[in-house]
Structure formats: structure tokens, C-alpha cells
Amino acid sequence: MDLVLGPWPWYVGGALVALVMVALVFLGKSFGFSSNFRNICSMLGAGKNCSFFDFDWKSQRWNLLFLVGAVVGGYLAANYLSVDQVPVLNPETIDDLKVLGFASAGTTYVPVEIFEIWSIKNVLLLAIAGLLIGFGTRYAGGCTSGHAISGLSNLQWPSLLAVIGFFIGGLIMVHLFFPLIF
């Protein structure tokens, strides 16, 4: 039972990702979750008003199914297949987060101070973050999973640049903006 409920080693997850990527390359498909936003908009009829959404979304049904499976699988894993819902964090990281006002650091899976307290600041923070992530994803031509997993495995130079940009942006956010916001 520990094999199912406990954390899997990195090499099992890595091998599974590699297996999926080989299958996608073999099938002539490219992976990326952010393309599902375009698929959903097209499916809902946005192609009537915008040429970007005017395409055959049915050819991407497999990607929509993958998205649904990821959401359902994530829910099942978090609620029924996890022994310990709290990620293991470096004690120094926990101390740093507590200094910034995250008293729940190290005791919960997500920071209660952001996701469970409905203040104007938190709602604005989540809404603006969501818009910036959505804009950045489309501007970069894909999301982190699309570029870092699919793009790099296909040796695409733009994906390497995008992944470098993701890391630089993450470092700037964590070390510069995060302390200012909190």
C-alpha cells in the first residue's frame, strides 16, 4: 500500500514523462496545457469573432481529455491517495515564509493566508497573477509544461529561451517582488 500512497522516486516520474513524450512524438502530437484555453474558446464559438480561435478544435480532443484527466487525477491523488498532504520544506524556507507573514508555512499544502482568507488584497493578488500568467503563457507561445517538457525534448531553440525566461522570471518574483507584496 505504501507503493501507491507514498511518494514515488524521481526516476519513476521521469521515466513516465519520457514514455509519454516518446508516445506523443511517435503519434505526431505536441504537449502543452495552455493550448487547451484556445481549444475551449474555439469549442465555445469564439472563432466567430476572432480568427485566432477559428480552427478545428476537434483535432485536439486528446489534449482536452488529458486536461480533464489531470484535474480528476489531481483531485483523486490529493484526496484519496496521499498519506501526507504537507510538502516537506527546508526549515530555512519555512522560517523565511513565517517572517513574511505565512504562519501556516510547513503545516499546510497551500498557504492559508492567501487561498482561504477572502480579503480584497488576496482576491486582487490572485486575479492579477492569473491574468499575468495567462498573458505570459500566450505571449511565450506556450506554458512551462509545453516548453520545458515537449519543446526541449524536441530540441526547439525557442523553448530553451522560454524555459530560461521562466526561471529568470521566477527568481525575480521570489527574491524581488514577493517580499514587497508580503
Query: pTM for the full model?
Result: 0.65
Q: Mean of the per-residue pLDDT values for the chain?
A: 85
Average pLDDT of the segment spanning 129-138: 83
Residue 1's pLDDT band (boundaries 50, 70, 90)?
low
CB atoms within 10 A of CB 100: 13
Residue 127 pLDDT: 92
Residue 150's pLDDT band (boundaries 50, 70, 90)?
confident
Scanning the structure block, which residue is given the C-alpha cell 521515466? 15
Residue 95 pLDDT: 92
Q: Alpha-carbon distance 24 to 95, whole Å?
A: 42
Helix %, strand %, coil % for the chain, to 5? 70, 0, 30
Is residue 182 over pLDDT 70? yes
pLDDT digits (tens, 9 = 90+) for 56-88: 888 888 888 888 998 999 888 878 877 666 777
Cell of 74: 489531481
